[in-house]
Structure 1
Amino acid sequence: MDAQSYNTALADLRGVRDAIRKARAQLVKLEADRDKQIVRLTGHAKASAERIAPAAGLSVADVVALAPALAPDSLADSDAPQPQPAPETAAKPPTELTPQPQPGAAAAAVDTVLPQPTVPAPTAASEAPVAKTPAATDAPRALPSIPEGDRGNAWCTHTSGLVSTRPNFTQQARSTVFLDTTTGVLVHRNQTHRLDLGTATAADILTAVFHAIPEGVERIYITAGDPWHRDADRYPYLRDAVAAWLNAPIPGWRTDTGRGRDRMAGHFVHARNPVGRYQRESGEQHVEIRSVGEWFDVDGDDPATVRDAFVLLWQALRRHWSDAVLMGSPSQTGRDLWTRTIPQRGQYADGFPVLSEELRGLLHATAGQGRNELLTPPRVPEQLPQLVEYDRTFAYAKHTWKSPVGTPRRITATAFAAWSEKEQTRALYGCGHWQVRVTVPDAWNRVGLLPAPAPGERAWHYPAEPGTTFTTWAGGPEVHTALTNPIQPWQIEILDGILWEDGKPLDDWAKKLKETWTNLSAQAHFQGDAQQARAAHLASRAVRAILLYGIGSFAQRPRMVTGTTPRPMERDVPPDAEIIGFDDELITWQKPTGFSRDPNAHPEWAAAIWSGARAALLTQRHRDDDTYAGALHAPPGTVVAFRTDALYLTQPQSWPYHHQPGDYLLRGHLTGPVTAPTTEEELLTLRDAGRAALTTSGQEA
């Protein structure tokens, strides 16, 4: 680009900037007008938030916030004085785990014996500690606790009649095609077609595909083109564009209502990987339109290569599961394969019982997933000397060897304090989920070790400021790491807890997937044909997705249902629904439906694996090399970010890598000086640049 082009582009950029400012100002004005009209409507005697919400494109809660007089009757007494809970320490006497500093603690091994817990004498400070909260405009959300007495003890049960059992049927494979909506290339088995997709609406795709394959198909994977983003410029959010694309009318078709054992009904609105489910109005044919991005990232791969990847994946899984079938998503496939490893003899031959809904709800609210944290100046330099990315290979597969089983036991602070040191140590090494009060040591100069609730739904942060005190829930691996870390032990007070027996419900499943991943990775490395090598690599990534999303599906989050209502029938929008989009014809909404009676809901397994993975980002022992890796084994001030199973540093490390699950793989290396990222977008931009630079230099592991 020459100087003239550069100056012209700058002028164009300023024009875009000004247009954005005007649009934002107009949006603010429109929102203010909307709010005034909502308030004005309260003057009508029969005004109701349920009627006004869909007309305004807001949820009922948003309308009530603007006009409290419209609050439903069920909320009329919400301002009445409520009984205040007893002080936390009165109901739950804390057990404080006060580690005794030992000589050479800074260089101590990670697997040292847990320090002896002591019960502190009651003091004003221990009864009412002052928590230092992070600087934020909103207060951190409060995490739930287990109720006292018999009511709380009743949570530690299983749901009657809800058990994970081995299936007595064989999944049926579905006829599948792979379509590039940019080029129109369609691959069906060994045949390749070139389609005219018009504007690539769902109607265009279904018409073209069923014309090319008259016998019909049941699943269409989009390999490139993202057709659901075609009209993104017309909508403020991608989800709105996706919902409009999915819900556009298709002559002769309607939204699928589900069928058979694999009962998935309705569209799934997702900004990047949506699922459209359609059926003929006659009900004779059902078809899904899905993104192959659910399985792996496609980097310019043609539909034939993607097809070969799925064929290799299926063949590799068949070596371990004779009845393996690839279902629509990795999570569905993962859970189906797991059910086929449930033992037919032994203690759990009758299946694995599902926890009570109350305990599942507690785990949902208190057990986060991956650690995502960006450390910004002054915690890191304004100019980073380097940015080095280490990614834990197939990370979650490292933490499936032990999982909680059996009837959970509630361990109160009093009960924990009454145990011997050996019993306390065994409990914290075991499969547990603990409510703890944490104090960061006064001389701490590293990253935070335990997650704490932050403002925002399901948001977490990791306090590291010396002297900070906070209350949170954490899994056994993280509590153990905080107590035995190689830098300086943290002070932990046990307030409450849930403890299970140690078991191996996922071990056989995970071992088979790890072997499948290893074989496909080897094929990708040694295959002489470039296309087949690429297909094997994609298949190995799909195995990773099966395990990763299979574990996530055990968490069984409360379900969110998406639906549409014609504009003339807006009063039929459910009163507890949130409006997520609308046009001249349809209102698109979503609403939570709580926990379903899912026989394969095991959030305790997902929580234990996630906790172990977060702990391994801090410290992980490599026994064969007699060394350690992780954020706590890098110099102070060199950690820039955590991203699920990746770690970003300002210095390269000599951590061992043997192509095993959990090993730290060097993925990117950007030489400095590098301006420290302050947003996730900036971090991802630097990540991509670092990976490209490492590929160019040929230093990959």
Structure 2
Amino acid sequence: MDATTYTDGLAKLRTLRDDIKKTAAALARLETQRDKTVTTLAAHDKATAERIAPAAGLSIAEVVALAPQLAPQDITAPDPHPAPHAAENSRPDPQPPATPAPDPAPCAPLKQPTDHGAPRDLPTLPQDTDTRRWFTPTSGLVSQYPNFIQQARPTVFLDTATGILVHRDQTVRLDLGDRSAAAILTAVFHTVPDSIQRIYITAGAPWHRDADRYPYLKDAVAAWLNAPTPGWRTDTGRGRDRMAGHFVHARNPVARYQRDNGDHHVEIRSVGEWFDLDDTDHPGIVRDAFRLLWEELRRHFSDAVIMGSPSQTGRDLWTRTIPRRGKHADGFPVLSEELRGLLHATAGQGRNELITPPRVPEQLPALIEYDRTFAYAKHTWKSPIGAPRRITGKAFASWSAKEQHDALYGCGHWHIRVTVPDGWNHIGLLPAPAPGERAWHYPHAPGTTFTTWAGGPEVHAALTNPIQPWKIEIVDGILWEAGKPLDDWSKKLKETWTNLSAQAHFQGDAQQARAAHLASRAVRSILLYGIGSFAQRPRMVTGTTPRTAERDVPPDAEIIGFDDQQITWQRPTGFARDPNAHPEWAAAIWSAARAALLTQYHRDDDTHAGALHTPPGTVVAFRTDAVYLTTPQNWPHRHRPGDYLMKGHLPGPVNAPTSEEELLTLRDTGRHALNSTPEEA
């Protein structure tokens, strides 16, 4: 670049800066005008937040924040809104038991200490008189071995950037025109037979083709999915794995179509659901990866079928490990909808936290990423089963120290009051609700007291941590019998993963090695998203309404996008009658995984690993299964699930990241600097 080009670029940048300031100012004026209009309308005696929200393009909560008088009078229910670790099997020596607390007022929402924004309430268990309904499994809903054989769907692989299509052993190049869904369907079915039911997009992301025209990627995706497709209409679903309509997702949407005559169904999906691809990955490599995946799964699951997504595949494979004789031959009962809702609201997933100055230095001596290999597979050996029982604070207090220890080490979900001990100078240990939907933070300041819910592994880790025990009072709890409903399924997936990882390492052909690596990553996704699917979040329905019929937008809907022609909205519809809904399993695994980020014991090496085994001030961030540090650690890695693998090492000095975007940029730079081998991940 010469000096003239550089100078011109600076001038253009200044112009863009000024335009951004003007646009931001105009937006601020419009938002102010909108907010004033909302407050004016709220004075009407028949005004409701449900009516004003869609007209303003706001959520009901946002309208209520502007006009508190519109708040419903019965806001005591949990938030209905929802987009991959106990250290070892050995039991540590008993520690001082947790202290019970008095039972709370029945169903009283608990206010949480927060730094910014309104506090978020967590639900509580009901009065004793209502306990029977909550703790009785849902009638007629049991996970049982399926009485049908899953049918495979013929599949092709398409790179929409180059037009390369792979169908079995045939490779052709298509003219995809404007890359609309209509153009893709036309081009593909001029080349392959109508028996094809699934089109995997390997590159090109055609649903982002008009992203510059929309404020959010999700809007661009929705427009692409809902564009006219002559000869086709939106699929209404069929079969036992009935999935009707399009699924709007910013990066991995699912388009479902059927011929106008109804005799041909096809879905367009992204392979990004399964694994990340490089720019050099040809659709043929992706085909080989799925072929290897199917062959290896068949070694352990005789009737294995690769379904559209890893979560569908994972759950289907699991159902085929349900015992058909013995203790659990009658299946695994599904919790009441009340308990499923409570777990949904109180059991978070992965720990995602960025620790910024002054808790860490402005200039980091290094940024080192340690990622737990195939982490969730480590924590499936023990899971809650059957109908749970309630353990009140008073009941817990009446137990012996051993009984309390066994309960906290067992399969439980605990309502607790936590106090950070005096003199504490390390990271927070337990999640507390933060402002925002399903947001969590980790209080760490000495003397801080908060009330929350946490799984047994995290409570046990906080009580027995290697630095200083935390004070935890048991307010209430849910306790299950311990069993192994996921153990057989998980072992088979771990063996499949091990075999494919070995192929990736020892395969002499570079393309086949790459295909084996991708297949191993797909196994990881099957287990990771299979576990997530047990959580069974409340269903969200997405719909559109013409702008001319704005009054027809459902009153409980949230506006997620709009243009000159139509309004796009979504609304929760509660829990489906899903016989394989087991949020207690997902919650237990997530809790164990978060605990293992703090501390886990490696028996073979007689050593510990985890964030609490590093000096204070050296932990920079957590991202699900990874911890980012400023100093290297000599943690063992024996290529087993749960082991910490150094994935990135960026030598310092490094400016401490202050946003997720900055952290991810440093992460990628650190991985490149280390020249890590993906086969170990």
TM-score > 0.5 by shorter chain: yes
CA deviations on 1:352-380 (whole Å, 9 max, x unpaired) are: 00001111111111100000011000000
Q: Does 1:12 align with 2:32?
A: no
Given the alignment of the two structures, is residue 390 of structure 1 paired with residue 370 of structure 2, yes or no? yes
Q: For residue 150 of structure 1, what is the amino acid of its counterpart?
A: T
Q: Does 1:468 align with 2:448?
A: yes
Q: Who is 2:428 aligned against? A: 448
**Is 2:95 aligned against 1:114?**
yes
What's the CA shift string for 1:32-73, capped at 9, x where partnerless? 44455556767999887666654544455655665678x5xx
8 Å CA contact retained: 1:112, 1:484: no
RMSD: 2.5
Give the one of 185, 188, 191 matched to 1:206.
Answer: 185
Cα deviation code 1:286-341 (max 9, x no counterpart): 11111110000011211110111011001110111111111110000000000000
Indicate the SS of the match to 2:92.
coil
Question: Matches of residues 40-55 of structure 1 in structure 2 within 5 Å?
Answer: 53-55=53-55
Given that 2:374 and 2:642 are in contact with CA atoms closer than 8 Å, whether structure 1 keeps it comes out as yes
Give 2:83's aligned residue: none
Contact 1:561 1:592 in 2 (8 A): yes
The match for 2:487 is 507
Q: Provide the identity percentage.
A: 76
Partner residue in 1 for 2:121: 142
Paired with 2:112 and 2:129, the residues of 1 have a C-alpha distance of 33
Please say if 1:235 is aligned against 2:235.
no
- The answer to whether the Cα contact below 8 Å between 1:59 and 1:578 also exists between their aligned partners in 2 is yes
Q: Hey, what's the Cα distance between the residues in 2 that align with 1:116 and 1:33?
A: 57
Aligned amino acid, residue 256 of structure 2:
R
- 1:23 is paired with a residue whose SS is helix
- 2:273 matches 1:294: yes
Contact 1:395 1:645 in 2 (8 A): yes
Letter in 1 for 2:529: Y
**Cα separation, 2, equivalents of 1:590 and 1:23:** 28
Deviations 1:585-637 (A, max 9, x none): 33221110111111110000000000000000000100000001000111111
The 3-state SS of whatever aligns with 2:334 is: strand
Q: Does the residue aligned with 1:690 lie in a helix, a strand or coil?
A: helix
Q: CA deviation at 1:250?
A: 1.2
CA distance in 2, matches of 1:556, 1:341: 20
TM-score of the two chains, using structure 1 as the length reference: 0.90
Aligned partner of 1:619 in structure 2 is 599
TM-score (norm 2): 0.92
Following superposition, the deviation at residue 251 of structure 1 comes to 1.2
The structure-2 alpha-carbon separation of the partners of 1:501 and 1:235, relative to structure 1 and needing over 3 Å to count, comes to same
Pairing 1:71-82 to 2, within 5 Å after superposition: none
Letter in 2 for 1:113: P
Cα distance, 1:23 vs structure 2? 1.9
Residue pair 1:279, 1:285 contacting (<8 A) in 2 also:
yes
The 1-side partners of 2:328 and 2:91 are apart by: 34
**Separation in 1, partners of 2:223, 2:543:** 12
Matched, 1:175 2:190: no
User: Does 2:255 correspond to 1:276?
Assistant: yes
Aligned-residue offset at 1:425: 1.2
- 2:291 is aligned to 311
Amino acid at match of 1:164: S
Provide the C-alpha distance between the structure 1 equivalents of 2:676 and 2:637, rounded to a whole number of angstroms: 20
Aligned length: 660
Deviates more, 1:566-575 or 1:508-517: 566-575
Tell me, which stretches of 5 or more residues in structure 1 are unaligned?
83-108, 123-129
Please state whether the residue corresponding to 2:315 is helix, strand or coil.
helix
CA distance in 1, matches of 2:613, 2:218: 41
Aligned match of 1:417: 397
Q: 2:461 aligns with which of 481, 484, 498?
A: 481
C-alpha contact (below 8 Å) 1:560/1:592 kept by paired residues? yes
1:407 aligned onto 2:387: yes
Offset of residue 25 of structure 1: 2.0
1-structure distance, mates of 2:343, 2:676 = 44
For residue 210 of structure 2, what is the amino acid of its counterpart? D
Match of residue 221, structure 1, among 192, 200, 209:
200
The question of whether the paired residues in 1 share the 8 Å contact of 2:111 and 2:119 is answered with no
Q: Assess, with a 3 A threshold, how the Cα gap between structure 1 residues 563 and 421 changes in structure 2: closer, same or farther.
A: same
Task: Tell me the amino acid that sits aligned with residue 488 of structure 1.
Answer: Q
Specify which of 463, 466, 470 is matched with residue 490 of structure 1: 470
Say which SS state the counterpart of residue 426 (structure 2) adopts.
Answer: coil
1:91 matched residue in structure 2: none
Contact 2:373 2:680 in 1 (8 A): no
Alignment partner, residue 127 of structure 1: none
| Residues 1:251 and 2:226 are matched in the alignment | no
Which residue of structure 2 aligns with residue 126 of structure 1?
Answer: none
Residues 100 and 475 in structure 2, CA contact (< 8 A), matched pair in contact too: no
Q: Distance in 2 between matches of 1:655 and 1:530?
A: 31
8 Å Cα contact 1:153-1:410 kept in structure 2:
no
User: Counterparts of 2:314 and 2:396 in 1: how far apart (Å)?
Assistant: 37
Distance in structure 2 (CA, Å) of the matches to 1:614 and 1:698: 23
Deviation at 1:257, TM superposition (A): 1.0
Query: Given the superposition, is the C-alpha separation of residues 76 and 185 from structure 1 closer, same or farther in structure 2, using an over 3 Å criterion?
Result: closer
